[in-house]
């Protein structure tokens, strides 16, 4: 059985909220179903944060979001964006805590690698889950993916202080592997 979540941030937030209860619930699930395995897909950190900011800016209006996303007009950094950075770092911390607690049962999936080699990554996922791999399933799944990552990070001019905070906080894999810097960074003020 697989339980999935497209909105991983909400799951991470709930898991982080009451850590001792989370561990107890995971232990309880293990007793019920046996071994649990966690998959964690991670995109470029700055793209994740930029997407969170943009979605918040347009109040979840999908058509406005698509318009903003397609324009990629450079936007100045606003102080209130720092709350999204803090929230992202909190979620990343929750995921890292889960990884430290359940490392052998935890698979990080690099979003960029998934787009570059979906068949290979999906084969690894099947191996991790100990389920059969199907070329047809992998081809159907790969067809649903974008062909390349969307560079949402390029929409904002990032303060050096924010870049430094992100880089100094996210020092573990998979995040360290996905800290592709935005090209628009303002100097330290």
Taking residues 103-110, report their average pLDDT: 86
Does some domain include residue 59? yes
What per-residue confidence (pLDDT) applies to 120?
Answer: 95
Contact 133, 171 (CB under 8 A): no
Does some domain include residue 170? yes
Does some domain include residue 140? no
Does some domain include residue 43? yes
List the beta bridge partners of residue 109: 41
The residue that leads in pLDDT, 4 or 107, is 107
What per-residue confidence (pLDDT) applies to 73?
Answer: 67
Does some domain include residue 110? no
Does some domain include residue 145? no
Does some domain include residue 49? yes
For residue range 138-183, list pLDDT tens digits in order.
Answer: 999 999 888 777 888 888 889 999 999 999 988 877 777 777 777 7
Q: How many domains is the chain built from? A: 1
What per-residue confidence (pLDDT) applies to 4?
Answer: 61
For residue range 43-95, list pLDDT tens digits in order.
Answer: 889 999 998 888 888 877 777 777 777 776 678 889 899 999 999 998 888 88
What letter would DSSP give residue 183?
A: S
Q: Which domain holds residue 46?
A: 8-100+151-186
C-alpha distances out from residue 74 to 33, 83, 154, 178, Å: 49, 20, 7, 22
Does some domain include residue 106? no
């Amino acid at each position: 059985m697989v339980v999935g979540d497209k909105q991983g941030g909400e799951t991470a937030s709930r898991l982080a909220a009451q850590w001792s209860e989370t561990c107890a619930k995971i232990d309880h699930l293990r007793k019920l179903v046996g071994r649990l395995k966690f998959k964690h897909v991670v995109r470029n950190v700055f793209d994740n944060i930029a997407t969170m900011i943009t979605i918040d800016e347009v109040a979840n209006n999908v058509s406005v979001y698509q318009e903003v996303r397609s324009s990629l007009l450079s936007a100045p950094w606003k102080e209130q964006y720092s709350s999204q950075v803090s929230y992202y770092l909190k979620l990343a911390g929750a995921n890292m805590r889960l990884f430290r607690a359940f490392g052998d049962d935890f698979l990080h999936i690099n979003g960029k690698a998934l787009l570059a080699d979906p068949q290979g990554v999906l084969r690894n996922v099947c191996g991790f889950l100990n389920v059969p791999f199907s070329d047809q399933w992998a081809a159907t799944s790969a067809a649903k993916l974008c062909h390349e990552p969307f560079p949402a990070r390029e929409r904002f001019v990032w303060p050096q202080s924010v870049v430094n905070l992100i880089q100094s906080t996210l020092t573990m894999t998979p995040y360290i592997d996905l800290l592709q810097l935005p090209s628009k960074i303002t100097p330290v003020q």
